[in-house]
Chain A
Amino acid sequence: MSFMTMLQVMGNGMLKSIGIFLWTLLLSLPLGLVIAVIRQKKLPVITQIIKIYISLMRGTPLMLQLLVVFFGPFYLFKIRLSDGYRFIAVLIAFVLNYAAYFAEIYRSGIESMPIGQYEAATVLGYSKSQTFLKIILPQVIKRIFPALTNEVITLVKDTSLAFSIAYVEMFTVAKQIAAKETTMLPFVIAGVFYYVFNFLVAFLSEWIEKKMNYYR
Protein backbone atom coordinates (compact mmCIF):
# COMPACT_ATOMS: atom_id res chain seq x y z
CA MET A 1 0.00 0.00 0.00
CA SER A 2 1.50 3.34 -1.02
CA PHE A 3 1.90 6.21 1.42
CA MET A 4 -0.71 8.24 -0.44
CA THR A 5 -3.36 5.51 -0.28
CA MET A 6 -2.57 5.08 3.40
CA LEU A 7 -3.17 8.79 3.98
CA GLN A 8 -6.34 8.69 1.92
CA VAL A 9 -7.83 5.62 3.64
CA MET A 10 -6.95 7.01 7.05
CA GLY A 11 -8.31 10.40 6.02
CA ASN A 12 -11.67 8.75 5.36
CA GLY A 13 -11.44 7.19 8.81
CA MET A 14 -10.62 10.61 10.24
CA LEU A 15 -13.87 12.00 8.80
CA LYS A 16 -15.72 9.38 10.83
CA SER A 17 -13.80 10.33 13.97
CA ILE A 18 -14.61 14.00 13.35
CA GLY A 19 -18.25 13.01 12.81
CA ILE A 20 -18.39 11.42 16.27
CA PHE A 21 -16.60 14.48 17.70
CA LEU A 22 -18.89 17.11 16.20
CA TRP A 23 -22.16 15.31 16.89
CA THR A 24 -21.13 14.62 20.47
CA LEU A 25 -20.26 18.27 21.08
CA LEU A 26 -23.38 19.54 19.34
CA LEU A 27 -25.65 17.40 21.53
CA SER A 28 -23.80 17.10 24.84
CA LEU A 29 -22.95 20.79 25.37
CA PRO A 30 -26.63 21.88 25.54
CA LEU A 31 -27.66 18.70 27.36
CA GLY A 32 -24.98 19.28 29.99
CA LEU A 33 -26.24 22.82 30.53
CA VAL A 34 -29.82 21.67 30.94
CA ILE A 35 -28.72 19.05 33.46
CA ALA A 36 -26.65 21.57 35.41
CA VAL A 37 -29.52 24.08 35.54
CA ILE A 38 -32.09 21.50 36.64
CA ARG A 39 -29.74 20.23 39.31
CA GLN A 40 -29.35 23.81 40.54
CA LYS A 41 -33.10 24.03 41.24
CA LYS A 42 -32.76 21.54 44.13
CA LEU A 43 -35.91 19.56 43.30
CA PRO A 44 -36.01 16.64 45.77
CA VAL A 45 -36.20 13.52 43.53
CA ILE A 46 -34.79 14.87 40.28
CA THR A 47 -31.61 16.21 41.88
CA GLN A 48 -30.96 12.74 43.32
CA ILE A 49 -31.52 11.11 39.92
CA ILE A 50 -29.11 13.55 38.29
CA LYS A 51 -26.52 12.87 40.96
CA ILE A 52 -26.78 9.11 40.39
CA TYR A 53 -26.57 9.60 36.60
CA ILE A 54 -23.42 11.73 36.87
CA SER A 55 -21.88 9.33 39.33
CA LEU A 56 -22.53 6.34 37.03
CA MET A 57 -21.23 8.12 33.93
CA ARG A 58 -18.05 9.25 35.64
CA GLY A 59 -17.57 6.08 37.63
CA THR A 60 -17.62 3.55 34.76
CA PRO A 61 -15.42 3.39 31.64
CA LEU A 62 -16.79 4.82 28.41
CA MET A 63 -15.92 1.56 26.67
CA LEU A 64 -18.26 -0.33 29.00
CA GLN A 65 -21.00 2.25 28.43
CA LEU A 66 -20.64 1.78 24.67
CA LEU A 67 -21.09 -1.98 25.03
CA VAL A 68 -24.14 -1.53 27.28
CA VAL A 69 -25.84 0.93 24.90
CA PHE A 70 -25.11 -1.22 21.86
CA PHE A 71 -25.82 -4.73 23.15
CA GLY A 72 -28.19 -3.77 25.98
CA PRO A 73 -31.39 -3.61 23.89
CA PHE A 74 -30.80 -7.16 22.71
CA TYR A 75 -29.74 -8.77 25.97
CA LEU A 76 -32.30 -6.95 28.14
CA PHE A 77 -35.31 -6.71 25.83
CA LYS A 78 -34.51 -9.14 22.99
CA ILE A 79 -34.78 -6.38 20.40
CA ARG A 80 -33.05 -7.23 17.12
CA LEU A 81 -31.16 -4.20 15.85
CA SER A 82 -29.88 -3.28 12.43
CA ASP A 83 -26.34 -2.33 11.54
CA GLY A 84 -27.29 1.35 11.28
CA TYR A 85 -27.68 1.35 15.05
CA ARG A 86 -23.91 1.22 15.49
CA PHE A 87 -23.41 4.94 14.89
CA ILE A 88 -26.52 5.83 16.91
CA ALA A 89 -25.21 3.74 19.83
CA VAL A 90 -21.83 5.47 19.60
CA LEU A 91 -23.58 8.85 19.79
CA ILE A 92 -25.88 7.89 22.67
CA ALA A 93 -22.99 6.63 24.78
CA PHE A 94 -20.67 9.53 23.97
CA VAL A 95 -23.35 12.19 24.47
CA LEU A 96 -24.55 10.76 27.80
CA ASN A 97 -20.99 10.41 29.05
CA TYR A 98 -19.79 13.84 27.99
CA ALA A 99 -22.97 15.62 29.09
CA ALA A 100 -22.27 14.37 32.62
CA TYR A 101 -18.78 15.86 32.63
CA PHE A 102 -19.99 19.09 31.01
CA ALA A 103 -22.80 19.40 33.56
CA GLU A 104 -20.27 19.37 36.37
CA ILE A 105 -18.13 21.97 34.60
CA TYR A 106 -21.18 24.20 34.11
CA ARG A 107 -22.09 23.73 37.78
CA SER A 108 -18.64 24.84 38.89
CA GLY A 109 -19.14 28.03 36.87
CA ILE A 110 -22.70 28.70 38.02
CA GLU A 111 -21.88 28.17 41.69
CA SER A 112 -18.89 30.50 41.47
CA MET A 113 -21.12 33.47 40.71
CA PRO A 114 -21.54 35.77 43.77
CA ILE A 115 -25.05 36.00 45.24
CA GLY A 116 -24.82 39.80 45.04
CA GLN A 117 -25.26 39.66 41.27
CA TYR A 118 -28.60 37.88 41.65
CA GLU A 119 -29.71 40.43 44.24
CA ALA A 120 -28.67 43.34 42.04
CA ALA A 121 -30.53 41.82 39.09
CA THR A 122 -33.69 41.42 41.19
CA VAL A 123 -33.47 45.06 42.30
CA LEU A 124 -33.11 46.13 38.68
CA GLY A 125 -36.28 44.22 37.82
CA TYR A 126 -34.78 41.28 35.87
CA SER A 127 -36.86 38.11 35.85
CA LYS A 128 -35.20 34.85 36.89
CA SER A 129 -34.68 33.61 33.34
CA GLN A 130 -33.43 37.02 32.21
CA THR A 131 -30.95 37.06 35.10
CA PHE A 132 -29.62 33.66 34.12
CA LEU A 133 -29.42 34.14 30.36
CA LYS A 134 -28.24 37.75 30.23
CA ILE A 135 -26.11 38.13 33.34
CA ILE A 136 -25.00 34.79 34.77
CA LEU A 137 -24.50 32.52 31.71
CA PRO A 138 -22.18 34.83 29.72
CA GLN A 139 -19.85 35.10 32.69
CA VAL A 140 -20.09 31.38 33.41
CA ILE A 141 -19.04 30.48 29.89
CA LYS A 142 -16.00 32.75 30.13
CA ARG A 143 -14.94 31.22 33.43
CA ILE A 144 -15.36 27.58 32.46
CA PHE A 145 -13.85 27.85 28.98
CA PRO A 146 -10.39 26.43 29.80
CA ALA A 147 -11.99 23.47 31.58
CA LEU A 148 -14.32 22.89 28.62
CA THR A 149 -11.40 22.94 26.20
CA ASN A 150 -9.67 20.26 28.25
CA GLU A 151 -12.69 18.00 27.99
CA VAL A 152 -13.14 18.69 24.27
CA ILE A 153 -9.55 17.69 23.56
CA THR A 154 -10.05 14.49 25.54
CA LEU A 155 -13.11 13.81 23.40
CA VAL A 156 -11.00 13.89 20.22
CA LYS A 157 -8.80 11.14 21.59
CA ASP A 158 -11.72 9.16 23.05
CA THR A 159 -13.27 8.71 19.60
CA SER A 160 -10.98 5.68 19.15
CA LEU A 161 -13.08 3.83 21.75
CA ALA A 162 -15.91 3.57 19.21
CA PHE A 163 -14.32 0.42 17.77
CA SER A 164 -15.28 -1.57 20.86
CA ILE A 165 -18.66 -1.78 19.12
CA ALA A 166 -17.07 -2.20 15.68
CA TYR A 167 -17.55 1.36 14.47
CA VAL A 168 -14.54 1.72 12.19
CA GLU A 169 -12.99 5.14 12.83
CA MET A 170 -9.50 6.44 12.10
CA PHE A 171 -7.51 4.56 14.73
CA THR A 172 -9.12 1.25 13.77
CA VAL A 173 -8.16 1.84 10.15
CA ALA A 174 -4.61 2.55 11.34
CA LYS A 175 -4.52 -0.77 13.22
CA GLN A 176 -5.87 -2.66 10.20
CA ILE A 177 -3.33 -1.15 7.83
CA ALA A 178 -0.57 -1.82 10.37
CA ALA A 179 -1.61 -5.50 10.54
CA LYS A 180 -1.64 -5.86 6.77
CA GLU A 181 1.61 -4.02 6.10
CA THR A 182 3.32 -5.28 9.29
CA THR A 183 4.65 -1.81 9.98
CA MET A 184 4.19 0.83 12.67
CA LEU A 185 3.97 3.71 10.19
CA PRO A 186 0.15 4.02 10.36
CA PHE A 187 0.41 4.70 14.09
CA VAL A 188 2.79 7.57 13.43
CA ILE A 189 0.33 8.99 10.91
CA ALA A 190 -2.51 8.50 13.42
CA GLY A 191 -0.53 10.41 16.02
CA VAL A 192 0.02 13.28 13.58
CA PHE A 193 -3.69 13.31 12.66
CA TYR A 194 -4.76 13.53 16.30
CA TYR A 195 -2.16 16.16 17.10
CA VAL A 196 -3.05 18.40 14.17
CA PHE A 197 -6.75 18.14 14.96
CA ASN A 198 -6.22 18.94 18.63
CA PHE A 199 -3.91 21.79 17.66
CA LEU A 200 -6.79 23.25 15.66
CA VAL A 201 -9.18 22.76 18.58
CA ALA A 202 -6.78 24.50 20.97
CA PHE A 203 -6.17 27.30 18.45
CA LEU A 204 -9.90 27.86 17.96
CA SER A 205 -10.54 27.85 21.68
CA GLU A 206 -7.80 30.42 22.27
CA TRP A 207 -9.30 32.61 19.58
CA ILE A 208 -12.76 32.40 21.13
CA GLU A 209 -11.31 33.12 24.56
CA LYS A 210 -9.71 36.30 23.22
CA LYS A 211 -12.99 37.32 21.57
CA MET A 212 -14.79 36.92 24.89
CA ASN A 213 -12.28 39.08 26.69
CA TYR A 214 -14.13 42.30 25.85
CA TYR A 215 -13.89 43.82 29.34
CA ARG A 216 -10.13 43.69 29.60
Chain B
Amino acid sequence: MKKIWALLLAAILAFSFAGCGTEKETKQDTDDNTKNETETTEFKVGFDAEYPPYGYMDDDGSYTGFDLELAAAVCDYWDWEIKYVPIDWDSKDNELSSGMIDCIWSGFTINGREDDYTWSDPYVENSQVVVVAEDSGIDDLSGLADKVVAVQADSAALSLLQDEEGQKELADTFKELREFGDYNTAFAELLAGTVDAVAMDIGVAKYQLQSRGEGYKMLDEYLNEEQYGIGFRKGDTELRDSVQEAIDSLKKDGTFDQLAEKYDIADLVISE
Protein backbone atom coordinates (compact mmCIF):
# COMPACT_ATOMS: atom_id res chain seq x y z
CA MET B 1 0.00 0.00 0.00
CA LYS B 2 2.72 2.41 1.03
CA LYS B 3 4.74 1.56 -2.05
CA ILE B 4 1.81 2.26 -4.35
CA TRP B 5 1.33 5.68 -2.77
CA ALA B 6 5.03 6.45 -3.09
CA LEU B 7 5.09 5.39 -6.73
CA LEU B 8 1.99 7.44 -7.53
CA LEU B 9 3.40 10.57 -5.89
CA ALA B 10 6.75 10.14 -7.61
CA ALA B 11 4.99 9.76 -10.96
CA ILE B 12 3.05 13.00 -10.54
CA LEU B 13 6.10 14.90 -9.33
CA ALA B 14 8.06 13.71 -12.33
CA PHE B 15 5.16 14.51 -14.65
CA SER B 16 4.91 18.12 -13.57
CA PHE B 17 8.55 18.75 -14.36
CA ALA B 18 8.58 16.63 -17.50
CA GLY B 19 7.14 19.54 -19.47
CA CYS B 20 10.07 21.77 -18.65
CA GLY B 21 12.59 19.05 -19.48
CA THR B 22 11.39 18.18 -22.93
CA GLU B 23 10.97 21.83 -23.76
CA LYS B 24 14.62 22.48 -23.07
CA GLU B 25 15.65 19.53 -25.17
CA THR B 26 13.66 20.60 -28.17
CA LYS B 27 15.05 24.08 -27.77
CA GLN B 28 18.55 22.69 -27.89
CA ASP B 29 17.63 20.76 -30.99
CA THR B 30 16.44 23.89 -32.71
CA ASP B 31 19.59 25.65 -31.59
CA ASP B 32 21.64 22.99 -33.31
CA ASN B 33 19.49 23.31 -36.39
CA THR B 34 20.06 27.03 -36.40
CA LYS B 35 23.74 26.51 -36.75
CA ASN B 36 23.48 23.86 -39.44
CA GLU B 37 20.42 24.63 -41.49
CA THR B 38 17.73 27.28 -41.54
CA GLU B 39 16.62 29.47 -38.67
CA THR B 40 13.45 28.47 -36.78
CA THR B 41 11.95 31.34 -34.83
CA GLU B 42 9.44 30.79 -32.11
CA PHE B 43 6.47 33.15 -32.38
CA LYS B 44 4.74 33.50 -29.02
CA VAL B 45 1.13 34.67 -29.39
CA GLY B 46 -0.46 36.05 -26.22
CA PHE B 47 -4.25 35.77 -26.13
CA ASP B 48 -7.25 35.63 -23.83
CA ALA B 49 -8.53 32.06 -23.99
CA GLU B 50 -12.00 33.13 -22.85
CA TYR B 51 -12.72 35.22 -25.92
CA PRO B 52 -14.67 33.27 -28.55
CA PRO B 53 -14.73 33.45 -31.54
CA TYR B 54 -11.26 35.08 -31.61
CA GLY B 55 -9.43 32.80 -29.18
CA TYR B 56 -10.86 29.96 -27.10
CA MET B 57 -10.60 26.28 -26.20
CA ASP B 58 -11.89 23.95 -28.91
CA ASP B 59 -14.00 20.81 -28.47
CA ASP B 60 -10.93 18.63 -28.16
CA GLY B 61 -9.27 20.84 -25.54
CA SER B 62 -6.78 22.56 -27.86
CA TYR B 63 -6.77 26.31 -28.51
CA THR B 64 -8.42 27.72 -31.61
CA GLY B 65 -10.26 30.77 -32.94
CA PHE B 66 -10.08 33.24 -35.82
CA ASP B 67 -7.06 35.10 -34.44
CA LEU B 68 -5.16 31.95 -33.53
CA GLU B 69 -5.71 30.26 -36.90
CA LEU B 70 -4.65 33.45 -38.65
CA ALA B 71 -1.52 33.56 -36.49
CA ALA B 72 -0.80 29.93 -37.37
CA ALA B 73 -1.15 30.76 -41.06
CA VAL B 74 1.33 33.62 -40.64
CA CYS B 75 3.76 31.20 -39.03
CA ASP B 76 3.32 28.77 -41.93
CA TYR B 77 4.15 31.61 -44.31
CA TRP B 78 7.45 32.37 -42.57
CA ASP B 79 8.13 28.81 -41.39
CA TRP B 80 8.07 29.93 -37.78
CA GLU B 81 7.11 27.74 -34.88
CA ILE B 82 3.94 29.00 -33.22
CA LYS B 83 3.40 28.95 -29.47
CA TYR B 84 0.01 29.86 -28.01
CA VAL B 85 0.29 31.52 -24.62
CA PRO B 86 -3.08 31.95 -22.86
CA ILE B 87 -2.51 34.96 -20.61
CA ASP B 88 -4.26 36.61 -17.72
CA TRP B 89 -5.72 39.66 -19.49
CA ASP B 90 -4.83 41.97 -16.58
CA SER B 91 -1.13 41.08 -16.97
CA LYS B 92 -0.93 41.45 -20.76
CA ASP B 93 1.42 44.45 -20.68
CA ASN B 94 3.81 42.74 -18.26
CA GLU B 95 3.83 39.60 -20.41
CA LEU B 96 4.57 41.64 -23.54
CA SER B 97 7.28 43.94 -22.22
CA SER B 98 9.08 41.14 -20.38
CA GLY B 99 9.26 39.17 -23.63
CA MET B 100 7.13 36.22 -22.45
CA ILE B 101 4.96 36.87 -25.51
CA ASP B 102 5.80 38.53 -28.84
CA CYS B 103 2.42 40.11 -29.51
CA ILE B 104 -1.11 40.46 -28.21
CA TRP B 105 -3.39 38.91 -30.81
CA SER B 106 -6.79 38.56 -29.22
CA GLY B 107 -9.48 40.77 -30.69
CA PHE B 108 -7.39 43.67 -29.44
CA THR B 109 -8.91 47.12 -29.97
CA ILE B 110 -6.59 49.79 -31.36
CA ASN B 111 -8.72 52.84 -30.54
CA GLY B 112 -7.65 54.49 -27.32
CA ARG B 113 -4.41 52.49 -27.23
CA GLU B 114 -2.80 53.93 -30.39
CA ASP B 115 0.39 55.09 -28.64
CA ASP B 116 0.86 52.15 -26.29
CA TYR B 117 1.87 49.51 -28.84
CA THR B 118 3.33 49.13 -32.30
CA TRP B 119 0.23 48.15 -34.28
CA SER B 120 -0.41 46.05 -37.37
CA ASP B 121 -2.92 47.32 -39.91
CA PRO B 122 -6.48 46.96 -38.58
CA TYR B 123 -8.03 43.65 -39.70
CA VAL B 124 -11.46 43.66 -38.05
CA GLU B 125 -14.09 46.39 -38.06
CA ASN B 126 -15.54 46.17 -34.58
CA SER B 127 -18.27 47.91 -32.62
CA GLN B 128 -19.04 48.07 -28.96
CA VAL B 129 -22.62 47.01 -28.34
CA VAL B 130 -24.97 46.56 -25.42
CA VAL B 131 -26.79 43.33 -24.61
CA VAL B 132 -29.89 43.33 -22.38
CA ALA B 133 -32.47 40.78 -21.28
CA GLU B 134 -35.22 40.38 -23.88
CA ASP B 135 -38.02 41.34 -21.48
CA SER B 136 -36.15 44.26 -19.90
CA GLY B 137 -38.02 46.90 -21.85
CA ILE B 138 -34.76 48.62 -22.80
CA ASP B 139 -34.72 49.44 -26.51
CA ASP B 140 -32.00 52.04 -26.99
CA LEU B 141 -29.04 53.59 -25.23
CA SER B 142 -31.15 56.26 -23.50
CA GLY B 143 -33.09 53.42 -21.86
CA LEU B 144 -29.95 52.60 -19.87
CA ALA B 145 -30.40 55.61 -17.59
CA ASP B 146 -30.45 54.59 -13.92
CA LYS B 147 -29.53 51.01 -14.82
CA VAL B 148 -26.59 48.87 -13.70
CA VAL B 149 -24.31 48.20 -16.69
CA ALA B 150 -21.59 45.54 -16.57
CA VAL B 151 -18.38 45.68 -18.58
CA GLN B 152 -15.25 43.48 -18.67
CA ALA B 153 -12.32 44.80 -16.63
CA ASP B 154 -9.55 46.39 -18.73
CA SER B 155 -11.63 46.03 -21.92
CA ALA B 156 -12.12 48.45 -24.79
CA ALA B 157 -15.76 48.87 -23.79
CA LEU B 158 -14.69 50.02 -20.35
CA SER B 159 -12.21 52.60 -21.61
CA LEU B 160 -14.82 53.84 -24.08
CA LEU B 161 -17.33 54.36 -21.28
CA GLN B 162 -14.73 56.18 -19.19
CA ASP B 163 -13.39 58.37 -21.98
CA GLU B 164 -14.48 62.02 -21.96
CA GLU B 165 -14.44 62.01 -25.77
CA GLY B 166 -16.12 58.62 -25.89
CA GLN B 167 -19.30 57.64 -24.12
CA LYS B 168 -18.59 58.96 -20.62
CA GLU B 169 -21.58 61.24 -20.89
CA LEU B 170 -23.81 58.21 -21.44
CA ALA B 171 -22.04 56.26 -18.68
CA ASP B 172 -22.76 59.09 -16.25
CA THR B 173 -26.48 58.45 -16.68
CA PHE B 174 -26.03 54.82 -15.48
CA LYS B 175 -26.84 53.95 -11.92
CA GLU B 176 -23.56 52.07 -11.82
CA LEU B 177 -20.83 50.86 -14.17
CA ARG B 178 -19.71 47.52 -12.81
CA GLU B 179 -16.58 45.62 -13.88
CA PHE B 180 -16.50 41.82 -14.12
CA GLY B 181 -13.88 39.20 -14.99
CA ASP B 182 -15.44 36.95 -17.62
CA TYR B 183 -18.57 36.91 -19.76
CA ASN B 184 -20.08 33.86 -18.09
CA THR B 185 -20.37 35.75 -14.82
CA ALA B 186 -21.80 38.80 -16.55
CA PHE B 187 -24.47 36.81 -18.40
CA ALA B 188 -25.36 34.91 -15.24
CA GLU B 189 -25.84 38.25 -13.50
CA LEU B 190 -27.91 39.54 -16.40
CA LEU B 191 -30.16 36.51 -16.12
CA ALA B 192 -30.36 36.83 -12.33
CA GLY B 193 -31.26 40.51 -12.66
CA THR B 194 -28.36 41.89 -10.61
CA VAL B 195 -27.18 43.81 -13.68
CA ASP B 196 -29.43 45.28 -16.39
CA ALA B 197 -27.08 45.37 -19.37
CA VAL B 198 -23.65 44.17 -20.51
CA ALA B 199 -21.42 46.13 -22.89
CA MET B 200 -19.06 44.14 -25.15
CA ASP B 201 -17.55 43.69 -28.62
CA ILE B 202 -20.01 42.86 -31.38
CA GLY B 203 -18.26 39.63 -32.38
CA VAL B 204 -18.36 38.39 -28.82
CA ALA B 205 -22.00 39.47 -28.43
CA LYS B 206 -23.01 37.52 -31.55
CA TYR B 207 -21.24 34.40 -30.30
CA GLN B 208 -22.80 34.68 -26.86
CA LEU B 209 -26.33 35.27 -28.17
CA GLN B 210 -26.08 32.43 -30.66
CA SER B 211 -24.68 30.05 -28.06
CA ARG B 212 -27.06 30.99 -25.26
CA GLY B 213 -30.24 31.13 -27.33
CA GLU B 214 -33.38 32.89 -26.14
CA GLY B 215 -33.69 35.52 -23.46
CA TYR B 216 -31.27 38.22 -24.62
CA LYS B 217 -31.15 40.89 -27.25
CA MET B 218 -28.58 43.26 -28.67
CA LEU B 219 -29.48 46.95 -28.87
CA ASP B 220 -29.58 48.23 -32.47
CA GLU B 221 -27.85 51.40 -31.39
CA TYR B 222 -24.05 50.84 -31.12
CA LEU B 223 -21.75 52.57 -28.67
CA ASN B 224 -19.05 53.24 -31.29
CA GLU B 225 -17.10 52.01 -34.31
CA GLU B 226 -13.55 50.82 -33.76
CA GLN B 227 -10.91 48.46 -35.13
CA TYR B 228 -8.89 45.44 -34.09
CA GLY B 229 -5.18 45.17 -34.67
CA ILE B 230 -2.28 43.06 -33.50
CA GLY B 231 -0.31 44.76 -30.73
CA PHE B 232 3.49 44.42 -30.73
CA ARG B 233 6.06 45.74 -28.26
CA LYS B 234 6.54 49.44 -28.85
CA GLY B 235 9.33 49.83 -31.40
CA ASP B 236 9.25 46.23 -32.58
CA THR B 237 8.54 47.30 -36.17
CA GLU B 238 10.64 44.52 -37.72
CA LEU B 239 8.37 41.78 -36.39
CA ARG B 240 5.30 43.86 -37.15
CA ASP B 241 6.34 44.29 -40.78
CA SER B 242 6.98 40.57 -41.20
CA VAL B 243 3.58 39.64 -39.77
CA GLN B 244 1.88 42.35 -41.86
CA GLU B 245 3.53 41.06 -45.03
CA ALA B 246 2.26 37.55 -44.28
CA ILE B 247 -1.28 38.77 -43.57
CA ASP B 248 -1.36 40.80 -46.80
CA SER B 249 -0.40 37.70 -48.73
CA LEU B 250 -3.03 35.62 -46.89
CA LYS B 251 -5.62 38.22 -47.84
CA LYS B 252 -4.59 37.94 -51.51
CA ASP B 253 -4.74 34.15 -51.68
CA GLY B 254 -8.16 34.02 -49.95
CA THR B 255 -7.09 32.23 -46.75
CA PHE B 256 -8.05 35.27 -44.68
CA ASP B 257 -11.61 35.35 -46.05
CA GLN B 258 -12.00 31.60 -45.64
CA LEU B 259 -11.11 31.89 -41.97
CA ALA B 260 -13.55 34.76 -41.52
CA GLU B 261 -16.31 32.62 -43.10
CA LYS B 262 -15.41 29.72 -40.85
CA TYR B 263 -15.78 31.82 -37.70
CA ASP B 264 -18.88 33.64 -38.95
CA ILE B 265 -17.38 37.13 -38.87
CA ALA B 266 -17.11 37.72 -42.62
CA ASP B 267 -19.19 40.90 -42.31
CA LEU B 268 -16.73 42.33 -39.78
CA VAL B 269 -13.27 41.66 -41.25
CA ILE B 270 -11.33 44.15 -43.38
CA SER B 271 -10.29 42.18 -46.45
CA GLU B 272 -8.67 44.92 -48.51
Contact = CB atoms under 8 A, between A and B. Distances in A.
Contact of B60 (A5, A26, A71, A168): A5
A1 B24 CA distance: 33
Interface stretch (A37-45, A51-59, A73-81, A107-115): A73-81
Main secondary structure of the interface of A (DSSP, over half): helix
A80 to B, nearest CB: 5
Given A23-B16, A163-B88, A165-B91, A83 B100 contact: yes
A71 B88 contact: no
Interface stretch (B49-57, B72-80, B110-118, B251-259): B49-57
A170 interface: no
B36 interface: no
Interface in A151-173: 163-166, 168, 172-173
Contact of B16 (A8, A20, A172): A20
B50 A81 contact: no
A179 B99 contact: no
Interface magnitude class on chain B: 35 or more
Q: Which of A9, A23, A83 has the most CB of B within 10 A?
A: A83
Contacts of B59: 1-2, 5
A143 interface: no
Contacts of A87: 16-17, 19-20
Contact of B183 (A1, A164, A179): A179
Interface stretch (B7-15, B170-178, B224-232, B264-272): B7-15
A164 B91 contact: yes
B55 to A, nearest CB: 10
B61 interface: yes
A88 B59 CA distance: 30
Contact of B91 (A67, A177, A184): A67
B13 A182 contact: no
A61 to B, nearest CB: 14
Contacts of A86: 100
Contact of B87 (A5, A166, A177): A166
B85 interface: yes
Contact of A84 (B23, B58, B97): B23
B244 interface: no
B166 interface: no
Interface in A5-59: 5, 8-9, 12, 15-16, 18-20, 22-23, 26
Given A22-B9, A179-B51, A81 B16 contact: no
B16 A179 contact: no
Contact of B88 (A9, A12, A81, A165): A165
A178 B188 CA distance: 12
Contacts of A84: 19-20, 23-24
A177 B57 contact: yes
B208 to A, nearest CB: 6
Interface string B95-111: 10111100000000000
A168 B86 contact: yes
Contacts of B99: 74, 80-81
B94 interface: yes
B44 to A, nearest CB: 7
B44 A83 contact: yes
Interface string B198-239: 000000000010011000000000000000000000000000
B209 to A, nearest CB: 10
A164 B87 CA distance: 8
6 contacts: A23-B13, A81-B98, A88-B20, A168-B86, A180-B50, A180-B58
Q: Ordered nearest first, which 8 A-B pairs have the shortest CB separation?
A: A19-B16, A179-B50, A9-B61, A74-B98, A176-B57, A182-B211, A180-B56, A176-B49
Interface of A: 1-2, 5, 8-9, 12, 15-16, 18-20, 22-23, 26, 67, 71, 74-75, 80-84, 86-88, 163-166, 168, 172-173, 175-184
Interface of B: 9, 12-13, 15-17, 19-20, 23-24, 27, 44, 49-52, 56-61, 83, 85-88, 90-91, 94-95, 97-100, 182-184, 187-188, 208, 211-212
